[in-house]
Structure 1
């Protein structure tokens, strides 16, 4: 396999939209709830986008909104981190799609992997939990937008459910 020459790592700091105070509280409260300790890493399927997270990740949430279903093919398990803690190691294939007037999604333009979600304005980014390198040490914490979930599956894990986000 031919390896590309590494470029300097770009930053996600500018612009730095995120999901706001609610996610920041989630990240802060996760420190006492078994969230993975600092220094996580991950990548897309083709490894065109590689990243590391210097800070902590919140326990993932399962989002069942229509947009997550359309971009991932099912619900999306996403873990919040501080945008300043997220560093891209390679990103030549990373593209951002503005999926609404409030949010955008980062994906790999080569393999199509759904990687990131962020809202504007703010300082947090959600990372697709399935793109994290194992072991993650994370556990799904709740379901959101269950009022929009598809009809081909049931939620029977006993986790908290929110009709909206």
Structure 2
């Protein structure tokens, strides 16, 4: 018997963390207008976790009912989108960018492509911004970073009590 995968993730500030035991199903990019607005982006990457395999491990998400059927979970402190949930379904959808290691879950499908940006096919041809001549700005950002690290922590922010 193989050991089940354990995936963890959370919001940018670390107030809300979650864990999924097992594989995520149907990883996809949703281009619908509702997902665009919820993500503040051109699409939202989602995948399903069985509710029995999912747990919030720190804090509580805030929920917005984007329709009568669906609610969207996010961090009330930093605003990070985390979940797309149909409450009476067996699963909950995780926003893939909130995973600690999002590169491990590759989308296999796209949905609602009628709202996909008409120019997406041109992205690979865009010029790449050159690396800065001095890393001063990046070093300053790294030295003052308040973002939660991409792994579970016993306390956050560092030194805070649970």
Q: TM-score range by the shorter chain?
A: 0.5 to 0.7
Match of 1:60 among 27, 30, 43: 27
> How many pairs align?
120
Q: 1:112 offset after TM fit, Å?
A: 0.6
Give yes or no for the alignment of 1:95 onto 2:56.
no
Q: For residue 80 of structure 1, what is the aligned residue in structure 2? A: 48
> Is the 2:96–2:102 Cα contact (8 Å) retained in structure 1?
no
Matches of 1:99 and 1:110, distance apart in 2: 19
Q: Which of 1 and 2 has greater Rg?
A: 2
> Is the 1:59–1:139 Cα contact (8 Å) retained in structure 2?
no
> Is the 1:59–1:138 Cα contact (8 Å) retained in structure 2?
no
Give yes or no for the alignment of 1:114 onto 2:81.
yes
- Secondary structure of the residue aligned to 1:88 is strand
Q: For residue 144 of structure 1, what is the aligned residue in structure 2? A: 111
Deviations 1:89-117 (A, max 9, x none): 1124x101110011110000111100000
Q: 1:138 offset after TM fit, Å?
A: 1.8
Matches of 1:86 and 1:106, distance apart in 2: 14
RMSD between superposed Cα atoms in Å:
2.1
Deviations 1:55-90 (A, max 9, x none): 221251000000100011220001111011111111
Question: How does the TM-score come out when normalised to structure 2?
Answer: 0.67
Q: 1:153 offset after TM fit, Å?
A: 2.6
Matches of 2:72 and 2:102, distance apart in 1: 25
Match of 1:45 among 12, 37, 40: 12
Question: How does the TM-score come out when normalised to structure 1?
Answer: 0.66
Structure 2, unpaired ranges of 5+:
125-162
Q: 1:121 offset after TM fit, Å?
A: 2.4
